[in-house]
């Protein structure tokens, strides 16, 4: 896996406050960006599924029960 460097500028007071609180700023930002990228991928997949399912008509009432009964009776 290759990595790249992303730099962000924040006020010194912000960085110092976070460091005093024991927060690893780099790790927090990295985790946030990874989660954001994951959410975007999931959204794309869900949108694709929505497009695929747009034309699908739902089954009629009792379809599942009839199908199971037919399958059982055929054996």
53-71 pLDDT, tens per residue?
Answer: 998 888 889 899 999 999 9
pLDDT for 12 equals 96
The C-alpha atoms of residue 6 and residue 46 are separated, in whole angstroms, by: 28
pLDDT for 57 equals 86
The C-alpha atoms of residue 64 and residue 61 are separated, in whole angstroms, by: 8
User: pTM score, two decimals?
Assistant: 0.67
- Residue 8 — very low, low, confident or very high, per pLDDT cuts 50/70/90? very high
The C-alpha atoms of residue 44 and residue 50 are separated, in whole angstroms, by: 10
- The number of helices, as runs of H, and strands, as runs of E, in the chain is 3, 0
Domain residue ranges of the chain, discontinuous segments joined by +: 12-73
Query: Quick one: residue 22, left, alpha or beta (phi over 0 = left, psi -120 to 50 = alpha)?
Result: left
27-51 pLDDT, tens per residue?
Answer: 999 999 999 999 999 999 999 999 9
């Amino acid at each position: 896996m290759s990595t790249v460097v992303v730099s962000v500028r924040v006020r010194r007071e912000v960085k110092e406050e976070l460091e005093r609180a024991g927060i690893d700023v780099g790790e927090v930002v990295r985790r946030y960006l990874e989660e954001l990228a994951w959410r975007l991928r999931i959204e794309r997949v869900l949108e694709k599924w929505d497009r695929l399912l747009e034309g699908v008509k739902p089954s009629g009432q009792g379809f599942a029960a009839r199908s199971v009964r037919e399958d059982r009776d055929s054996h």
